Amino acid sequence: MEFTVKFSPIGKRVMENRPRVLLDMARQAGVGLKSLCGGKGKCGKCKVVVNPANGVTAIERKLLTQDEIAEGYRLACCTSVKENTEVYTPASSITEEQKLQIAGKDVEVKPLPPVRKFHLVLPKATLSDLRPDLQRIKERLNRKYKVKVKNMDIKVLNIIGPTLRDSDWSITVIVRGNEIIGVEPGNRTKESFGIAIDLGTTKIAFYLVDLLTGAPINICGITNPQTAYGEDILSRIHYAGSTRTNLKKLKSEVLKGINLAIKKICRESRVEREDILEATLVGNTAMHHIFLGLPVKQLGLAPFTMATNEPLEIKAREVGLEICCGGYLYLPPLIAGFVGSDHLAMLIASEIETEEGNLITIDIGTNTEIALKTKGRIISCSCASGPAFEGAHIKHGMRAATGAIERVNINSKSLSVKVSTIDDKSPVGICGSGILDAISEMLRVGIIDSSGKMNSGYKGVRRIRGGKSLQFLLAKEGRREITVTQQDVSEIQLAKGAIRTGIEILLEETGLKVHDIDGVIVAGAFGTYIDPLKAVRIGMFPEIDIGKFTQVGNAAGIGAKAILVSKKFREEANQLVKKVEYLELATHSDFFEHFTSAMRFPKIK
């Protein structure tokens, strides 16, 4: 009898009609589970939560903690399934490669690119056919493909003559709207690529896509080089807004980084940079403005006025972006001074408009954007959650890189701490999901109370040398100690408090209660790696049934990709932006009241 195994939160399904080992089924579904030992029951990396839960094997008893077994954790290599089953794959069990590509919901995009290539074989110019080159091309395009063009990029006009004559009058013409943006010798219609860029305050993600099929070719990510000039948006605005030179510097830094990344992704994918015919870029308003060289001083002062919020189509070379010479960069519209096109792209990717019910989307980043959709309204706000979840302002904080503590378990009786690190290397610091886990566990076992105060009576809690403040020891490697300090707890309280405040004010604004919420979509790199249970436990999210959470990965990037590949999605974004209502939190009358309460931790029941 046939049965289905569903992998959540990735949202992949496999149909099967005989008992099979979960690890194999995950491979078949394209879910990249970690498995250092190759499925031999030795590494204990392929942890999943199986529902309904199976019996426990001897190997599992050895490699899993008692708490884990009680919570339903099993090893995918030791578990056979023979009925309808739901398998929860924690982020820590997913391979790095998979993490980058993670996307709970795949948006179906039928390619309708704004750029098309046409192959033409033209009659040669003779004394009885004196038509200029451009006219010759235009007339053929119209006759053969019913495509009417008006303009030709001046730089393309520069090469049209030799291209025609060197290729025996067989050329490929690149058309965008009513403009010819490129000509190439021979037939190169198949080489049509685009690049979608998600320009975050901290990270920049690149998606190289085949424009003809919409298929992803490659993905890569870099750290925003502007980070050296300020970690959060406000410090970036302050720096860029103080002098024209500073703005130019930030612009050129990010541009240099982006151009290098494009060069690299092309080389790795064996794609010519000149075959990238179109680019899209999404980002928060400050990143968008700085990238274009727009003044941002005004974004740092009330009323936080944007230079423009309109969708922009700019010759890529006009802003220094290195793709095909005549190619364009498309920037979807912005929503407000602190809610940019990344949020819009995320709303597009999560299909919030067409989904039923009352939905919340949360894109956690240095700035966290939250939208609430209910009865045809979409209200968005922005919370300055800061870079703490990216490891900044945390004593032993670090990026999600090798050696970062990403999971923490504290035994509630012995108070012994078990950490797991990225790539299973010796711990060198704590990344975002690690600090969230640590604080959630510290709260659970009572090391901190609901005010966030650390309790000195617990094992592992000690004074910071030369100070009065307390810290809790997570791991010790030789003489290096990795701790969570009282100050770290406060930073996380500020961050999660900001997010929770946004959610609360949105609920208040719409008159909805927590139990009215039908779904929560969590996006962003950090949002994808966290355990929603623990986020609820520390009060970052309200107490919403854990089954209502979906983790969708970099939805802004997925949206940027859809907007890149399809004119329909551009139109959709342009329509959607008009519907989104912006709620300014900073000037909201109840802000401080909510914020004060949201910084506290929930009482442990």
Interface with its own copies (CB under 8 A): 125-127, 129-135, 152, 154, 157-162, 165, 292-295, 297-298, 302-310, 312, 314, 318-319, 336-337, 582, 584, 587
Instruction: Judge contact between 205 and 223, C-beta under 8 A.
Output: no
- Paired residues of 75 in beta bridges: 47
**CA-wise closest residue to 114 among 19, 211, 20:** 211
The β-bridge relationship of strands 368-374 and 73-75 is unpaired
Q: Show Cβ contacts of residue 285 under 8 Å, excluding neighbours closer than 6 positions.
A: 299, 306, 334, 335, 336, 337, 338, 339, 340
Tell me whether residue 138 or residue 273 sits nearer to its own copies (CB atom): 138
- Paired residues of 195 in beta bridges: 208, 279
Find the shortest distance in angstroms from Cβ 290 to its own copies.
Answer: 11
Helices (H), 188-302: 233-242, 244-269, 285-292
Amino acid of residue 521 = I
Find the shortest distance in angstroms from Cβ 334 to its own copies.
Answer: 8
**CA-wise closest residue to 294 among 305, 302, 303, 278:** 305
Angle between helices 341-349 and 555-565 (to 10 degrees): 80
Helices (H), 57-132: 58-63, 66-70, 96-101
Instruction: Judge contact between 278 and 211, C-beta under 8 A.
Output: yes
Tell me whether residue 106 or residue 310 sits nearer to its own copies (CB atom): 310
Tell me whether residue 340 or residue 387 sits nearer to its own copies (CB atom): 340
Tell me whether residue 306 or residue 394 sits nearer to its own copies (CB atom): 306
Find the shortest distance in angstroms from Cβ 138 to its own copies.
Answer: 9
Find the shortest distance in angstroms from Cβ 127 to its own copies.
Answer: 4
Tell me whether residue 55 or residue 303 sits nearer to its own copies (CB atom): 303
Sign of CA dihedral 391, 392, 393, 398: positive
Tell me whether residue 58 or residue 127 sits nearer to its own copies (CB atom): 127
Strands (E) across 465-513 are located at 470-477, 480-485
Find the shortest distance in angstroms from Cβ 164 to its own copies.
Answer: 9
Find the shortest distance in angstroms from Cβ 251 to its own copies.
Answer: 10
E strand or H helix at 348, and its extent? helix 341-349
Tell me whether residue 121 or residue 215 sits nearer to its own copies (CB atom): 121
Tell me whether residue 306 or residue 400 sits nearer to its own copies (CB atom): 306
Find the shortest distance in angstroms from Cβ 296 to its own copies.
Answer: 8
Dist. CA 10–CA 103, nearest whole Å: 6
Tell me whether residue 299 or residue 405 sits nearer to its own copies (CB atom): 299
Find the shortest distance in angstroms from Cβ 132 to its own copies.
Answer: 4
Find the shortest distance in angstroms from Cβ 298 to its own copies.
Answer: 5
